[in-house]
Amino acid sequence: MDLVASTPRIPEIGETILGTKLDEIPGGKGANQAVSARQAGGKTWMFGKIGRDSYGKYLKENLTKFDIDLEFLIEDEDEDTGTAVISVDEKGNNSIIVIPGANSKLSAGDIEKKQDNLNKFDMMLLQLEIPEETVLKAVDTAAENNIMVVLDPAPVFKLPESIYKKVDIITPNTTEAEQLTGIKVEDEESMNKAADYFLKRGVKIVILTLGSKGLFVKTKKESFTVPGLKVNAVDTTAAGDCFTGTFAAVYDGSNLKEAVEWANTGAAISTTKMGAQTSIPDKEEIKKFLENIKEDK
């Protein structure tokens, strides 16, 4: 659950400022990505863990509203539902503190108990709000079942290099790419070097998200950039999640440029609305936005 404080600006260390309002909005990286994938037209299952509390109940009801299958959503009797405390300034910039709660209790054992039921999936979308051992087990299970793996390495922590040969697509932002590769991403040369780091270790597609500047995409055969879209941003909280979830729903293994364009558009639209899951556009909204762009050219 996201606790979102709207404020004129992000406070400095030791500073107290007045905010304008506080909202409770469904969030969480995995849930945001699941909603984004479903909104973009993908059949979606959510594998995660929530607390048996009011936030957990609310999040469960919200996912059901989006027609997301909750077969793999586990309730933990001992842990509270994960929360994020978010400050959003007048320009849409944010700072976020995540309290994992039940997310931190999603274990490799939970994956193992369900692994016989995972072979029906075409794609597994992962992020790092769950423990490292759980991420590694999920990736191993996907590889054993020939399931495509999309990894959003956030909140970032150093991963064992052996994981990359089992990851098909990785979607770091520049900060995450720097922490994973040791390469400061600031220009075209460094973007290529960071992308090559992942490609040399087995990743098939690298998508560096550049915020309002767009994207840099590289495979062993090609590389290209996608410019950012000009929108009136009010909250960037779920933009990265919206991008990754939308991409996962649209990408079919052969339409990389189209999927990236759709995901980039969905992420841009999400920044024009407050909140995480409340900001995520559906397929028709993305399609209409793209049509308007083409008409303006």
Buried b or exposed e, range 90-128, using 16+ CB within 10 angstroms: eebebeeebebbbbbbbbbebbeeebeebeebebbbbbb
**Integer Cα distance of 12 and 196 in angstroms:** 37
User: Which amino acid appears at position 252 of this protein?
Assistant: D
* 99 part of a folded domain: no
The number of domains in the chain is 1
Find the mean pLDDT for residues 44-61: 96
**Can you give the pLDDT at residue 234?**
85
- Residue 58 domain-assigned (yes or no): no
Residue 297 has pLDDT above 70, yes or no: no
Which position has the higher pLDDT, 241 or 292? 241
pLDDT of residue 119: 81
Cα 256 to Cα 75, 110, 262, distances in angstroms: 36, 32, 10
Q: What is the pLDDT of residue 296?
A: 66
Q: Is 277 a domain residue? A: yes
Whole-number pLDDT of residue 92 = 84
Q: Residue 222: left if φ>0, alpha if ψ -120 to 50, beta else—which one? A: beta
DSSP letter at 252?
-
Quick check: is 203 in a domain?
yes
Exposed / middle / buried, residue 49 (Cβ in 10 Å: 0-12, 13-18, 19+): buried
pTM for this prediction = 0.91
Residues 95-111: tens digit of each pLDDT: 889 899 999 999 999 99
Q: Span 188-192, mean pLDDT?
A: 97
pLDDT over 90 (residue 211):
no
Q: Is 41 within the bounds of a domain?
A: yes
Q: Which range is least confidently modeled, 18-22, 176-180, 255-259, 273-277?
A: 273-277
Quick one: average pLDDT of 56-64?
A: 96
- According to the per-residue pLDDT averaged within each range, which of 202-206, 268-272, 289-293 is highest? 202-206
Active site annotation includes 241: yes
Residue 115 has pLDDT above 90, yes or no: no
DSSP state of 173: B
53 inside domain: no
* H or E element at residue 182: none
Domain extent for 292: 29-46+104-296
* Residue 34 pLDDT greater than 80, yes or no: yes
Q: Please, what's the largest Cα pairwise distance for the chain?
A: 56
Average pLDDT for the chain: 94
Neighbours of 260 (CB within 10 A): 22
Tens digits of residue pLDDT in 224-239: 999 999 998 888 888 9
Closest CA relative to residue 172, chosen from 210, 115, 131: 210
CATH number at residue 209: 3.40.1190.20
| 264 found inside a domain | yes
Helix (H) / strand (E) containing 98: strand 94-99
Residue 188 makes CB contacts below 8 A (sequence gap 6+) with 216
21 in any annotated domain? no
Report d(CA 190, CA 2) in Å as an integer. 34
Catalytic residue among 241, 252, 282, 296: 241
**290 CB-contact burial (10 Å; exposed 0-12 / middle 13-18 / buried 19+):** middle
Query: Is 120 a residue whose pLDDT tops 90?
Result: no
What is the average pLDDT across 246-262?
95
